Structure 1
Amino acid sequence: MSPSRERRNPLEIQELLDECIGFLHRSPSALLACPLVARSWVNKAQANLFRNPLASTLEFAFSNVRVHQFLYSLHSNPILAGRVYELDLVVNNRNVHPSTLDNIRTLEFTNLERLNIDLEENILPELFEPLLSSPSLQYLHVRTSQTFTALAPVWACCSPTIRHFELVCREESAQVPPSVRRIYGYLKSLGLALSEWDAACPVQPRSRLLHPFDLSQLKAIATHEAVSVPWDSICADNIEVLDVNEHSFGTEMDLTVLPNLRILRIQLVGLIRLGMLDCLAPIILGAPHLHTLVLALVSEYDNDSKAQLAVLEAALLPLVSFACPVVEVAYWNDDFTEDELRGVFPQLLSRDMARLTFFPYVYAYFD
């Protein structure tokens, strides 16, 4: 047999090795042992170990000691910061202590694509500004007890590469002037929710508070009760995905002006809001490209609310038959069994016009 036809040892094929090491991404101990086997295993093991280092395991995510070990590794070898593609920061006394942010912000995460910041303490937003300016950042999720007003100046530091932005914070009635600098980028998806809300405070347009983000090319938006949508900055013809709470129906949101809507996701919390069914018909009939209607059952349901779901099916059936979207029902196992839901939506399921989905349910707008 000629040398050219000799079979190669699988352990000498780097692509195959990389693929095998990739299966160990949920086992930090196994990845740490890889460099002890061979030098050729080092790069791929490091890439998997540091890709999303603070969410590798529950132990890692909820241990301040492990967070310090992670930071020590990065400060000892700054090249490792370039291996980090996702970063989950839960800032409190148990996870990432507020004082730890100073150590994190000095690192250069040149390849960071996803950033999730959960501020459970009253932390100054300026502390995480350097992370927001990462040159490759595309996905940004921020949950904080701060107000829209307090956060508005921070957005001027954001990277122009951000395309997907989710924000959960407090509301207030103060008027906020737009910042001077504008980001030369645009968002594809936007999520807005309130952690606390005072019903006495008027809901102000988000266009001023989200400045300097460019919303003109927005394709997906998620917004819940008492959160106004900055329609003056959005091109309604571009919206393809809409995620709303049932409380959004019948409010100042005009959901009928979305002709290119493809996916409509409605979060149903307990009893169905009066008037929701009347508002739903023109949305479905006015969106000729709608192909999926998602009913997300996100709260506990008693017998009364389960009976209302049966009424909902009766109202949806003629609409779905005419407009032809698929109804997807997402639910918790603790609230329903599959047999119960089949009893609630018998006609849609028997006509193969509905499908059931378990929570945890995360709808991927754009990946």
Structure 2
Amino acid sequence: MSSNPLRIQELLDLCIAFLSDSPADLRSCSLVARSWVNPAQSELFRIPNLTSVPSRSDRAARKFCNALSDSPHLGHHLRDLSMGHWPTLIQNLDAVTFTHLHTLRFYIKNVSVASDLYRPLLSLPTLRTLHLDTSSRFSASLKFLVLCPTIQHLELSCREDYEESLADSASSLPEKPPFIRLTSLQLEISGGEDPLQHHLNQAALYPLDISELKVLGIWGSGAIWWDSLPQAAQESIRIVDSNFWLGELDLSPFKNLAVLRLGMIQGGFGGAESDVRCTLASISPANPIQIVVLGLSNGLLRYNKEECAKIDRILLSLASRDVRVELEFHLDTKGAEEKVRDWFPTIAAENKFHLVYRSYGMTDVWLRGLLPNL
């Protein structure tokens, strides 16, 4: 063992781990000794903490990109990078080599004019997870994804297509087989008051291959045709996450479904409670489902109490079949359990539910390894 405590690897690892949430201290650690430089920089740049506060994010982004531009070797440390719309800053990163970057999260206002700019990052062979938030249309976003053939997990938030753009995309559908094989897909399509229907069949999703999809999350839109999923995907999917009101779901095709999350959020015309009740009632005893999560609004008083009573009885019947029932709040509000016991008295009286506080969807829970290995 080294007589110099600065060279004891165990001590170094403990120091870096203890200070991992303090960028200023990590920068100080990099000045302690030559042997401390690489471990400190690795922790500091592994997942850069770039603030989301608008007045500060531009300064943080500029400082971060300047550091990478001045010291390209720092790119080796990056694993997970969250980016805003930084077109001028991205151009300065041409000399940076990202050898271990596996997750990208960013906003791009218009993907049709950003292809060449973002191509070097999106084509990285190590890239596995992409979170893309864009103001572009759905069909344009799919074309943009051609740039990232190695991703396995996709979260896409975009705008609805116009009827004419849907017609154009349908007329120009490629004959080539899809080549981006996804394990998880989280999709949010927002738009007008009269949403167009978007199919989830294989042709409409090119270049995405969802034949072996394990996780599907549809958020914030009633414009998705769940029935259009190919049979292979229906049978391979293990987790379904419907975070907003999407209407009643037919779960019978999901023969291997293990986790179901339903966000009981009131839609524009109400009726979320009835749709949730009908969806839960369709779970047959033969379905191998293990976990049912009901995402609740913090304002429970908006719900139809009669429908909640029916949901309550269905949840109890699921719990009696050894299904784990979770009632989810998005905020750790005071008195949440009292509210739950008032609105779902039967399952509460039997102590058959688990109250959880969660601010993200089942797709993220699965990616973070918080669910059993499904």
TM bracket, shorter-chain basis = 0.7 to 0.9
Q: What displacement does 1:313 show?
A: 0.7
- Tell me if the contact between 2:155 and 2:187 (Cα under 8 Å) persists in the aligned partners: yes
Q: Deviation digits for residues 308-366 of structure 1, max 9, x if unmatched?
A: 43442123222432x32111111123486222223333332343421001132443224
Residues 336 and 303 (structure 1), Cα distance of their counterparts in 2 relative to 1, 3 Å cut: farther
Specify the alignment match of 1:39 in structure 2: 34
- Tell me if the contact between 1:122 and 1:146 (Cα under 8 Å) persists in the aligned partners: yes
User: TM-score, structure 1 length as denominator?
Assistant: 0.84
Specify the alignment match of 1:118 in structure 2: 107
Specify the alignment match of 1:99 in structure 2: 88
Specify the alignment match of 1:89 in structure 2: 83
Query: Which of residues 199, 214, 218 in structure 1 aligns to 2:209?
Result: 214
Specify the alignment match of 2:256 in structure 1: 260
Indicate whether 1:163 and 2:152 are aligned.
yes
Q: 1:365 is paired with a residue of what secondary structure? A: helix
Indicate whether 1:50 and 2:45 are aligned.
yes
Amino acid of the structure 1 residue aligned with 2:18: F
Q: 1:67 is paired with a residue of what secondary structure? A: helix
Q: Deviation digits for residues 5-28 of structure 1, max 9, x if unmatched?
A: x89665432144123302322211
Specify the alignment match of 1:24 in structure 2: 19
Q: Deviation digits for residues 153-195 of structure 1, max 9, x if unmatched?
A: 21221132x1111111011131323346666552111111113
- Tell me if the contact between 1:268 and 1:299 (Cα under 8 Å) persists in the aligned partners: no
Q: What displacement does 1:259 show?
A: 1.4
Matches within 5 A, 1:313-324: 313-321=312-320, 323-324=321-322
Specify the alignment match of 2:246 in structure 1: 248
Q: Deviation digits for residues 180-222 of structure 1, max 9, x if unmatched?
A: 6666552111111113245253334453343122211111111
Amino acid of the structure 2 residue aligned with 1:241: I
Give 5+ residue unaligned stretches, structure 1.
1-5
Matches within 5 A, 1:1-367: 11-55=6-50, 62-91=56-85, 96=86, 98-104=87-93, 107-119=96-108, 121-122=109-110, 124-126=113-115, 127-160=117-150, 162-172=151-161, 173=163, 174-175=166-167, 176=169, 177-179=172-174, 184=179, 186-199=181-194, 201-205=196-200, 207-224=202-219, 225-229=222-226, 231-232=229-230, 234-245=232-243, 247-250=245-248, 254-270=250-266, 272-287=272-287, 289-298=288-297, 300-305=299-304, 308-321=307-320, 323-331=321-329, 332-334=331-333, 337-363=336-362, 364-366=365-367, 367=369
Q: What displacement does 1:303 show?
A: 4.8
Amino acid of the structure 2 residue aligned with 1:239: I
* Distance in 1 separating the partners of 2:138 and 2:9: 49
Give 5+ residue unaligned stretches, structure 2.
370-374
Q: What displacement does 1:291 show?
A: 1.0
* Distance in 2 separating the partners of 1:154 and 1:274: 38
* Distance in 2 separating the partners of 1:30 and 1:99: 30
- Tell me if the contact between 2:65 and 2:93 (Cα under 8 Å) persists in the aligned partners: yes
Residues 306 and 47 (structure 1), Cα distance of their counterparts in 2 relative to 1, 3 Å cut: farther
Q: What displacement does 1:148 show?
A: 1.2
How many residues align structurally?
A: 350
- Tell me if the contact between 1:54 and 1:67 (Cα under 8 Å) persists in the aligned partners: no
Amino acid of the structure 1 residue aligned with 2:366: Y
Specify the alignment match of 2:372 in structure 1: none
Residues 200 and 28 (structure 1), Cα distance of their counterparts in 2 relative to 1, 3 Å cut: closer
- Tell me if the contact between 2:7 and 2:35 (Cα under 8 Å) persists in the aligned partners: no
- Tell me if the contact between 2:313 and 2:347 (Cα under 8 Å) persists in the aligned partners: no
- Tell me if the contact between 2:5 and 2:11 (Cα under 8 Å) persists in the aligned partners: yes
Amino acid of the structure 2 residue aligned with 1:79: H
* Distance in 1 separating the partners of 2:284 and 2:94: 46
User: TM-score, structure 2 length as denominator?
Assistant: 0.83
- Tell me if the contact between 2:157 and 2:189 (Cα under 8 Å) persists in the aligned partners: yes
